Amino acid sequence: MNKWAKISGILFILLFISGFFIPIQLEAPPHVRMIVDHTYHVYVSPPCFNDADLTNYLQETDYKTAKELGYEPESSCTETSLVEESVPLNIALLKMIGVVATKWDASVWE
């Protein structure tokens, strides 16, 4: 085995191991279900819907569309429900490709 193969192998192992100690913050994927209130120009996530102060002018959409409309989160509950904090880099990669479930895969989001 040549010198460069050994060096690249060692670097790969070091990067892989360090990936368990590097925390990142994941944001909800664009297809996550949202409810928008066209009167107040806000969006609310399903787990926060019952506590939200909304009008009758509602529409079910996805997170991407709610952001494209320029709407704001209805409350801090919605804001915190759209992030998953302190996820190790390696686990985050597995969640992003669908191998490991995210908190947005739960039945409350469907």
Domain count, the chain: 1
At CA 44, angle to CA 92 and CA 77, rounded to 5? Answer: 65
At CA 65, angle to CA 57 and CA 62, rounded to 5? Answer: 80
Q: What is the pTM of this model?
A: 0.76
- Give the residue numbers spanning the domain of 56: 3-109
3-state DSSP helix/strand/coil percent for the chain, to nearest 5? Answer: 45, 25, 35
pLDDT (0 to 100) of residue 110: 60
pLDDT tens digits, 56-92:
999 999 999 999 999 999 999 999 999 987 889 888 8
